[in-house]
Amino acid sequence: MKRAILAMMLLARAAYADEPWEQGVSKDHRDRAQALFAEGNVLFAQQAHAPALAKYKSAIALWDHPLVRFNMAVTEIRLDRILEAAEDLDAALRFGDAPFTEELYRQALDYQRLVAGRVGVIEASCEQAGAQVQLDGKPWFQCPGTQKQRVLAGEHVVVAEKSEYLTYSRRVVVSGNATATDRVQLVPLEDVVRYEYPAPRWLPWTTAGVGAAVAFGGLAFWFAGRNEMDQFDADFARLCPTGCRADLSDQPQLARDRDSAELKGTIAVGMWATGGVLAVGGLVWGRFVNRPRRSVPDMELRPTPGGVTANAGWRF
């Protein structure tokens, strides 16, 4: 609490000095900011950190004073709002050791070193116009360009999207008080898309071809059977000028010739039916059923010791 009172005294004492943080700030704004600052200090002493922070922010809106920034940073550290604390410590120390006492300035530097170990910077760059880059699921910037963002130390995700390009996703590990860089490079979909068929592409067309071959084979049987039947008719007229028994039991060779011709005709009809089904079925299968499905890889670069590991899966 002593430091908070000391900061308040410094704020009041410096209120009318010609200092850079006072330029352009009216006396009314300075007085109102001091009152809010004092209220924030009381709340901070009562461990009411969130209300205290609200008072400090209201004071900053009136007068951006380094001591108010410092107390804001300390309060944000208590609330585990480290990124905000880092920003406010930088703002508090933007004029060096003024207007701090020696002890308070030393404490501010200690806080700054402490916070620096828990935050880092991500720097991303890309050259493909129109790509939208996100950081941890939030819009960041549009390509082309380079952007830096202060983040908590740890793992973060950079994602970039563009129409007709594969979505870029990379996990970036940021160390405390360090900068991690990432160069975004999207790959055109046409370079990575592949087409998956339910069955091998050749199978339906081979089936149709086999069906056509069977049907043509049936035609050969039909011609052979027709020739045999013509020969049977000629032999019947020669051997049975006055007629023969209906079952040709008296002419066994004629009976065999007739049965052979009829069998070939029956085989031909069966082959036509089977070949037609295979041919039509193969054409329908290949044209309408065995349609390709476009598959796109889901790729993600994950940091590992000594480099990165690419994880890939396929999305249909």
- Residue 193's alpha-carbon distances to 98, 131, 162, 169, 311, in angstroms, are 61, 19, 15, 17, 16
pLDDT bracket for residue 8 (50, 70, 90): low
- For the segment 234-293, what is each residue's pLDDT rounded down to a tens digit? 888 888 888 888 888 888 888 888 889 889 889 989 999 998 999 899 899 888 888 888
Task: Read off the pLDDT band of 41 (50, 70, 90).
Answer: very high
**Could you tell me if 111 and 55 lie in one domain?**
yes
Q: What is the 3-state secondary structure (H, E, C) of the chain?
A: CHHHHHHHHHHHHCCCCCCHHHCCCCHHHHHHHHHHHHHHHHHHHCCCHHHHHHHHHHHHHHCCCHHHHHHHHHHHHHCCCHHHHHHHHHHHCCCCCCCCCHHHHHHHHHHHHHHHCCEEEEEEEECCCCCEEEECCEEEEECCEEEEEEEECEEEEEEEECCCEECEEEEEEECCCCEEEEEECCEEHHHHCEEECCCCCHHHHHHHHHHHHHHHHHHHHHHHHHHHHHHHHHHHHHHCCCCCCCCCCCCHHHHHHHHHHHHHHHHHHHHHHHHHHHHHHHHHHHHHHCCCEEEEEEEEEEEECCEEEEEEEEEC
> Looking at residue 173, which CATH number applies to its domain?
2.60.40.1120
Whether residue 274 is found in the same domain as residue 307: no
Q: Quick one: average pLDDT of 55-77?
A: 94
Alpha helices, DSSP H, located in 122-201: 189-192
Helix (H) or strand (E) holding 296: strand 293-304
Indicate if the pLDDT at residue 67 is higher than 50. yes
Among 116, 137, 167, identify where a domain stops: 116
Does one domain contain both 12 and 106? yes
- In residues, how long is the chain? 316
**Residues 212 and 285 reside in one and the same domain:** yes
Write down the pLDDT at residue 81. 95
The mean pLDDT value of the chain amounts to 85
Q: For residue 167, what is the DSSP state?
A: P
Task: Please check the confidence at residue 232 and state whether its pLDDT lies above 90.
Answer: no
> Which of 101, 116, 131 marks a domain boundary?
116
26 shares its domain with 108:
yes
pLDDT digits (tens, 9 = 90+) for 125-146: 999 999 999 999 999 999 999 9
Lowest mean pLDDT among 2-11, 177-186, 260-269: 2-11
Final residue belonging to a domain, choices 97, 116, 135: 116
Segment 192-201 shows an average pLDDT of 81
Residue 242, pLDDT score: 82
User: In terms of domains, do 88 and 106 share one?
Assistant: yes
Q: Tell me, what CATH number does 31's domain have? A: 1.25.40.10
- Region 180-207: mean pLDDT is 86
Q: Are residues 124 and 184 in the same domain?
A: yes
For residue 8, what are the domain limits? 2-116
Whether residues 109 and 211 share a domain: the answer is: no
Return the SS3 of 183.
strand
Q: How many C-alpha atoms does 61 have within 13 Å on its Cβ side?
A: 7
CA distance 205 to 282: 6
pTM for the model stands at: 0.58
H or E stretch at 230: helix 202-239
Phi–psi pair at 307, nearest 5 degrees:
165, -150
Mean pLDDT (whole number) for 51-60: 96
Q: What pLDDT was estimated at residue 270?
A: 92
Per the structure, how many domains does the chain have?
3
What distance lies between CA 207 and its chain's CA centroid?
40
pLDDT of residue 112: 93
Pairing verdict, β 119-126 and 179-184:
parallel
Mean pLDDT of 221-235: 89
Judge if 254 and 158 occupy the same domain: no
Q: Give yes or no: residues 205 and 245 share one domain.
A: yes
176 and 309 within one domain: yes
Q: What is the pLDDT of residue 245?
A: 83
**Do 15 and 110 have their domain in common?**
yes
**In this structure, what DSSP letter does residue 285 have?**
I
Predicted pLDDT of residue 194: 76
Q: Kindly tell me if the per-residue pLDDT of 96 is higher than 80.
A: yes
pLDDT of residue 297: 63
